[in-house]
Structures are given as structure tokens and as C-alpha cells.
Amino acid sequence: MKIAVLDWYTVSVSGDITTEELEKFGEVKVISLTKPEETAANIGDADIVLCNKVLITKEVMDSCPNLKYVGLFATGYNNVDVEYAAKKGITVCNAGQYSTNAVAQQVFAYILDRYSRVRDYDNAVKAGEWERSPAFSYFPIPTAELAGRTLAIVGYGSIGRRVAELGKAFGMNIIVSTRTKPADCPYEVTDIMTAAEKADIITFHCPLTPQTKGMVNKELLSVMKPDAVLINTSRGPVVNEADLAEALNNGTIAAAYLDVLEKEPMSPDTPIKQAKNCTITPHTAWAAFETRKRLVDIVCSNINAWMNGKPENKVN
């Protein structure tokens, strides 16, 4: 088998993960990043293509007659024309639930950053403010306990469930907004507007669909508490960035933490870049070493299952 890996840079920036496991399945060609116009040429005569965000279109598949399998280093598969792949007899498999712990962990890194203010106090200490304090304890920056706060979780998949578990461990009140009420949900389930009204913190873990695109907009933000915090680690277009920037700058809500943006890498003119009290991380919630290693293991397991005639995580 010939295997073409089209954007290995998105899995291993520093070389901390190798392609050794992939090489057990055949001859591996590794490309760091692939431009759209290079896709067909980079696949060449490969039987298997592995990618994260590279577009695998009808034209690409027609240009690569040997292609039999597309494996994704991701849960989402909107970069692949899965219907046309099915017509061509090309199997497409994704990798689900590899990042649950890492993303939930980052959500609470944001929450603790806001409520414990470790970063702000470290800066104050290094600026000499504690040295000038008249008392042993110096606490002009307000902090607060999480216990008793309301955490609203939009989307109740594996990540939403894990965030709920962690919130419960901190003594938080959990409410959930999801398309259909899950049978095993021990928390209050409500609509998105009610969740936004009640939330001290609202965090988004929903897929990007026509219904969720732009869900965070002026209307939703207007019903939130002025001291509320908004977190998005799902998909960038869930948030209307202009509306969020306006809400932050006007004090409609207190703060936002974003790991995903509408355009990635971030556009220099995005309205959210200079918004008040907005912390942005460059799509890193999923990127812990253990998480990426787990991702590669799932991709390898998918290939093995497909080669044995029993494909797993097939999306088409």
C-alpha cells in the first residue's frame, strides 16, 4: 500500500510524534502542508490518503484513480466530498472522541484564569506591587469561587459531558442546552436563550451546522449577565465575531475565551482581536501530546480495520 500524508505539520509541529506506526501499513510519503492546487499531485498514485484539513474534492478523487481510502486526523469531515467518495467506492473514516479530556481541561484552564486570576497576580508580583504592599496579603484584583456558579454547556457530546463532570466536581450548578434531550442527563436541560440568561459561564461544544452557525449573536449576548464569561472551543463560525466584539467592548458581558475563530489562521483584521477582555488561543485545546498520540493511534486502527475488511468510524 502507498500512503500519502498531506498535512503532517498539523499533527506534529516539532517532530514529537513519528510516522513509525503508519509505516507498518506500507510506503509512506509525508508532506508537511499541502496547498489546494498541490493536492492531486501530492496524492499521486497512493492508495491511502491521510489528512486533517486538506480538501478532498470530486476533482481530486477523479485525478487520483488509485485512491481507495481517506483517513482523517480529525472528527470533522466537511473537507471531504463524502457522497462522491461513496460513489467512487472510496472509504472515508474519521477519528472521534480523541480530544475529550484535553478540550475539557482547556475549558477549565480558561475558567480558572478568569476566576482565580493567577496570570494577573503573577504580573503584579513581577511588577513589584507585592513588595510595596503594606500587608502580608495583596489582593486588589477580585477573585471568586466556582462553587455555586452556573455553568451552561451548549452541546452534550463526549466533551460536553466531561465538562459537566468537572464542573460538578467544583460544586457548580450545571445546565445543558442540546438539540434533543439525552435520556441519561442528570442536569437541567433547557433552550439556548434560557441557558444564556442563567449562565455565569457558557461554553460551546456543539457541531457547526446551519442551525448553530452564528448562534452567538447580538440577540443571545443581550440576555447574558454583565459579569458572564463566554467560552468557545467548538467551531469558530458558531460565534458572530463582530457581535461578540461589540458586546465585550460595551460591557454587555465580562469576558470571552476563544480557541477557534471563523478564519484560521486568524485574520489580522478580525474584529475580535482587539476586543476588551478577550483571550484567544490558536486552536490548541486538542493539541496535548497525549491527545495527538491517541489521534494517530485511532487513525492507524482505522486503517487496520479497513484493510481487514471491517472498516471502523466510516462516515460515508
Residue 292 is among the residues annotated as catalytic for this protein: no
- CB-based contact 5:29 (threshold 8 Å): yes
How confident is the model at residue 135, as a pLDDT? 97
- Average pLDDT of span 242-259: 98
Residue 269 pLDDT exceeds 90: yes
Pick the catalytic residue from 149, 235, 292, 294: 235
Catalytic residue among 188, 197, 246, 283: 283
Q: Look up residue 239 and give its DSSP letter.
A: B
Give percent of the chain above pLDDT 70: 100
Q: Which three cell numbers stand for residue 245?
A: 466584539
Active site residue 235: yes
The pLDDT of residue 111 is above 90 = yes
pLDDT of residue 181: 83
DSSP 8-state assignment for residue 266: P
Q: Would residue 290 show up in a list of annotated catalytic residues for this protein? A: no
Q: State what percent of residues in the chain have pLDDT above 90.
A: 96
Q: Domains for the chain: give ranges and CATH numbers.
A: 2-97+289-307 (3.40.50.720), 100-280 (3.40.50.720)
Question: Given 38, 59, 83, 264, which residue is catalytic?
Answer: 264
What is the mean predicted confidence (pLDDT) over 214-220? Answer: 98
pLDDT of residue 165: 98
DSSP label at 229? E
CB 182 within 8 A of CB 155: no
Q: How is residue 200 annotated by DSSP?
A: S
CA 210 to mean position of chain CA atoms: 18
Backbone torsion region of residue 50, taken as left when φ is above 0, otherwise alpha when ψ lies between -120 and 50, otherwise beta: beta
Residue 150 pLDDT: 98
Distance in angstroms (rounded) separating the CA atoms of residues 217 and 204: 13
- For 16, phi then psi, to 5°, come to -75, -15
Average pLDDT over residues 145-169: 97
Mean pLDDT within 211-238 = 97
Per-residue pLDDT reduced to its tens digit, 57-108: 999 999 999 999 999 999 989 999 999 999 999 999 999 899 999 999 999 9
Nearest to 194 by CA among 154, 147, 248: 154
Strands (E), the chain: 2-5, 27-30, 48-51, 69-72, 91-93, 150-154, 173-177, 188-189, 201-204, 229-232, 255-258, 278-280
What percent helix, strand, coil does the chain show, rounded to 5? 35, 15, 50
Asked whether the whole model's pTM tops 0.85, one would answer yes
Dist. CA 37–CA 164, nearest whole Å: 43
